[in-house]
């Protein structure tokens, strides 16, 4: 057992993985132990790399890291189903004694909220299920198996998990069971349902000031920051989505040439722009954006790389009208499309002076390396500074982070009486339920509806009383 306070010798790092004789490499997070890469987890990620995001892999790697830390601090429990039970309970309760503050394990875990704990447990459930189905050593543990001690540890735990799962009941349900796809009589610890007094929307009364004053420093205007913020606030995009935009994805709208038609294509399956091939005197066609990025730029889609260039792609309902998979910008109000195009032309004047080794629209314009892909982290910091310049506090609760703009877009659509199905389309959701966090009424709206309902009820009662008096 490790001494109290000594670090557990495991960590998560970025890696490029080659699985065959081709030149294709996959970027993944891997868990490193003193014996090297934790291979069971690597196998799991490689098996799911085609349909799960890097963000999902990072969360699973974090869950496995926590579980390994717990294993190291509790080696005597590894052969008993109580290991799983106790681990999940420590996520909820923390590892310190409430009265004394002591933690003999040295883990120093603070209590998690139900949502975070449930995600960790569900991630491990699915991982152990995968090992049981795909690694025979985990399905039927073999003490003579000659893997590393850490791989063996994980496989043994997966074996114990499958053997004792019936005893784990409410504490260890798979993600499918949590979602209600498969049922158990007892569920994981329920989350406390809450009603917020106000959805975390960016305050509309400050938005124009944010654009005109927040993104201005002296005589310099950050057109790039204005454009990204408008895509979030005026067209409802998620924060990561504008970072997949190519310069060729913005054009005058044929139905109103003063307004911008913006199509943010799927990072890998979207249609690629054509490029001129001087050697044959014609345009070169690419199969999709992945093919284009690899052949023309030696790059991979941004949702498949780790580090500063990473930009997630959550998915949802794509459109195909222009023979591609994409999200279209639905400007609300429509005037914003015209303002966007005018700012876009200003930005292109700056972009024309940059040397780029990629096709992405948003780049470093004032700091080295000039022309390098602009990162989400850089934008988040620039947005925070812009918010502070206009005298607002940066806070998720107040809606003054980038994601607050998507909430503001959804709230405007609701207040304008836009039907739910249209809101789903405009916000690129795959289902009507997905829009509910963005369209829920504020506490003030709820009180107003209650007051209006009371007025209607009083009018009905008064009408009924007058009819009764007419009988006298």
Q: What is the DSSP string of 273-340?
A: PPEEETTTTEEEP-SSHHHHHHHHHS---GGG--STT---------B-TTSS-EEE---SSTHHHHHH
The residues near 65 (Cβ < 8 Å, ≥ 6 apart) are 10, 11, 12, 31
**What is the C-alpha to C-alpha distance for residues 38 and 68, in angstroms, rounded to an integer?**
11
Same domain, 123 and 253: no
Q: What is the DSSP string of 53-113?
A: -HHHHHHHHHHHHHHHHHHHH-GGGTTSTHHHHHHHHHHHH-SS-TTT---TT---PPPPP
- Do residues 122 and 175 make contact, with C-beta atoms less than 8 angstroms apart? yes
pLDDT band at 465 (very low <50, low <70, confident <90, very high): low
Q: Is 32 helix (H, G, I), strand (E, B) or coil?
A: strand
Does 150 map to a domain?
A: yes
> Does position 309 have pLDDT exceeding 90, yes or no?
yes
Stronger pLDDT, 170 or 371, i.e. the higher one: 371
Query: Which pLDDT belongs to residue 115?
Result: 83
Stronger pLDDT, 453 or 175, i.e. the higher one: 453
Does 391 map to a domain?
A: yes
Range of the domain at 154: 11-178
Same domain, 408 and 288: yes
Q: State the number of CA atoms in the 13 A half-sphere of 446 facing the CB.
A: 10
Same domain, 259 and 285: yes
pLDDT digits (tens, 9 = 90+) for 198-226: 689 999 999 999 999 999 999 999 999 99
pLDDT digits (tens, 9 = 90+) for 317-365: 999 988 889 999 999 999 999 999 999 999 999 999 999 999 999 999 9
Same domain, 381 and 465: no
Does 44 map to a domain?
A: yes
Same domain, 113 and 239: no
Does 466 map to a domain?
A: yes
Same domain, 138 and 231: no
Does 195 map to a domain?
A: no
Per the structure, the count of domains in the chain is 3
| Final residue of a structural domain among 118, 143, 178 | 178
Query: Which pLDDT belongs to residue 464?
Result: 60
Name the strand (E) or helix (H) holding 12: strand 11-17
Does 99 map to a domain?
A: yes
Q: At what angle do helices 223-233 and 335-351 cross, to 10 degrees?
A: 150
pLDDT band at 180 (very low <50, low <70, confident <90, very high): very low
pLDDT digits (tens, 9 = 90+) for 255-308: 999 999 999 999 999 999 877 554 545 567 888 999 999 999 999 999 999 999
pLDDT digits (tens, 9 = 90+) for 391-419: 999 999 999 999 999 999 999 999 999 99
**What is the C-alpha to C-alpha distance for residues 1 and 73, in angstroms, rounded to an integer?**
6
Same domain, 30 and 95: yes
Stronger pLDDT, 268 or 22, i.e. the higher one: 268
Backbone phi, psi, residue 34, to 5°: -60, -20
| Lowest mean pLDDT segment, chosen from 19-33, 88-102, 239-253, 455-469 | 455-469
Does 188 map to a domain?
A: no
**What is the C-alpha to C-alpha distance for residues 27 and 304, in angstroms, rounded to an integer?**
7
Tokens at residue 271, please?
């249609």
pLDDT digits (tens, 9 = 90+) for 127-165: 888 887 776 655 443 333 345 666 666 666 666 655 555
Stronger pLDDT, 149 or 185, i.e. the higher one: 149
List the CATH number of the domain containing 243.
1.10.443.10
Does 148 map to a domain?
A: yes
Same domain, 212 and 245: yes
Query: Which pLDDT belongs to residue 163?
Result: 56
- Do residues 90 and 108 make contact, with C-beta atoms less than 8 angstroms apart? no
pLDDT band at 312 (very low <50, low <70, confident <90, very high): very high
Strand 36-37 and strand 26-33: pairing? Answer: antiparallel
Query: Ranked by mean pLDDT, which of 162-171, 185-194, 231-240 comes out on top?
Result: 231-240
**What is the C-alpha to C-alpha distance for residues 156 and 153, in angstroms, rounded to an integer?**
5
Same domain, 453 and 431: no
Tokens at residue 464, please?
């009924």
Backbone phi, psi, residue 146, to 5°: -105, 45
| Lowest mean pLDDT segment, chosen from 54-63, 223-232, 273-282 | 273-282
Cis peptide leading into residue 369 (ω within 30°)? yes
| Sheet of strand 11-17, all strands in order from the earlier edge strand to the far edge | 11-17, 26-33, 36-37
pLDDT above 90 coverage of the chain, percent: 50
pLDDT digits (tens, 9 = 90+) for 414-444: 999 999 999 999 999 988 887 777 777 766 7
pLDDT band at 367 (very low <50, low <70, confident <90, very high): confident
pLDDT band at 1 (very low <50, low <70, confident <90, very high): very low
Same domain, 242 and 384: yes
| Final residue of a structural domain among 125, 143, 178 | 178
> Does position 166 have pLDDT exceeding 50, yes or no?
no
- Please, what sign has the CA dihedral across residues 144, 147, 148, 153? negative
| Lowest mean pLDDT segment, chosen from 5-14, 75-84, 184-193 | 184-193
Tokens at residue 191, please?
């989350």
Query: Which pLDDT belongs to residue 25?
Result: 85
Query: Which pLDDT belongs to residue 19?
Result: 87
- Do residues 77 and 83 make contact, with C-beta atoms less than 8 angstroms apart? yes
The residue behind tokens 């209607």 is 456
Angle at 107 between CA 171 and CA 94, to 5 degrees: 45
Same domain, 250 and 318: yes
| Lowest mean pLDDT segment, chosen from 75-84, 126-135, 170-179 | 170-179
Q: Is 137 helix (H, G, I), strand (E, B) or coil?
A: helix
DSSP-based helix, strand, coil % in the chain, nearest 5: 45, 10, 45
Same domain, 317 and 234: yes
- Do residues 64 and 38 make contact, with C-beta atoms less than 8 angstroms apart? yes
């Amino acid at each position: 057992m490790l001494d109290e306070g000594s670090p557990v010798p495991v960590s998560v790092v970025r890696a490029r993985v080659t699985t065959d004789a081709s030149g294709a490499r996959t970027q993944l997070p891997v868990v490193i132990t003193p014996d090297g890469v934790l291979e069971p987890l690597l196998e799991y990620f490689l098996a799911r790399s085609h349909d799960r995001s890097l963000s999902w892999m990072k969360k699973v790697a974090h869950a496995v890291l926590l579980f390994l830390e717990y294993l190291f601090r509790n080696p005597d429990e590894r052969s008993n189903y109580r290991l799983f039970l106790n681990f999940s309970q420590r996520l909820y309760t923390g590892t310190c004694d409430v009265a004394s503050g002591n933690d003999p394990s040295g883990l120093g875990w603070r209590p998690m909220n139900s949502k975070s704990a449930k995600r960790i447990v569900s991630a491990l459930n699915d991982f152990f299920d995968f090992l049981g189905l795909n690694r025979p050593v985990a399905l039927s543990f073999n003490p003579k198996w000659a893997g590393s001690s850490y791989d063996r540890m994980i496989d043994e735990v997966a074996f114990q998990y499958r053997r004792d799962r019936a005893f784990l009941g409410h504490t260890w349900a798979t993600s499918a069971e949590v979602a209600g796809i498969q049922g158990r009589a007892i569920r994981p610890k329920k989350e406390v349902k809450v009603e917020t007094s106000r959805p975390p929307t960016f305050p509309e009364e400050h938005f124009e000031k944010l654009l005109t004053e927040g993104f201005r420093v002296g005589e310099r205007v950050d057109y790039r920051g204005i454009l990204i913020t408008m895509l979030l606030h005026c067209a409802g995009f998620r924060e990561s989505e504008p970072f997949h935009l190519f310069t060729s994805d913005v054009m005058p709208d044929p139905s109103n040439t003063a307004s911008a038609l913006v199509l943010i294509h799927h990072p890998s399956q979207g249609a690629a722009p054509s490029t001129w091939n001087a050697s044959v005197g014609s345009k070169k066609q690419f199969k999709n954006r992945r093919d284009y990025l690899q052949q023309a730029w030696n790059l991979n889609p941004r949702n498949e790389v780790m580090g500063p260039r990473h930009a997630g792609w959550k998915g949802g309902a794509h459109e195909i009208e222009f023979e591609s998979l994409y999200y279209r910008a639905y400007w609300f109000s429509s005037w914003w499309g015209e303002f966007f195009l005018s700012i876009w032309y200003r930005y292109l004047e700056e972009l024309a002076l940059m040397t780029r080794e990629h096709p992405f629209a948003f780049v470093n314009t004032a700091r080295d390396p000039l022309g390098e892909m602009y990162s989400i982290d850089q934008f988040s910091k620039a947005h925070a500074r812009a918010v502070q310049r206009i005298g607002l506090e940066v806070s998720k609760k107040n809606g003054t982070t980038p994601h607050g703009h998507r909430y503001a877009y959804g709230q405007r659509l609701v207040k304008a009486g836009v039907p739910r199905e249209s809101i789903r389309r405009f916000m690129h959701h795959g289902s009507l339920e997905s829009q509910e966090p963005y369209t829920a009424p504020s506490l003030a709206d709820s009180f107003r509806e209650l007051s209006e309902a009371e007025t209607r009820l009083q009018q009905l009662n008064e009408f009924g009383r007058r009819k009764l008096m007419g009988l006298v």
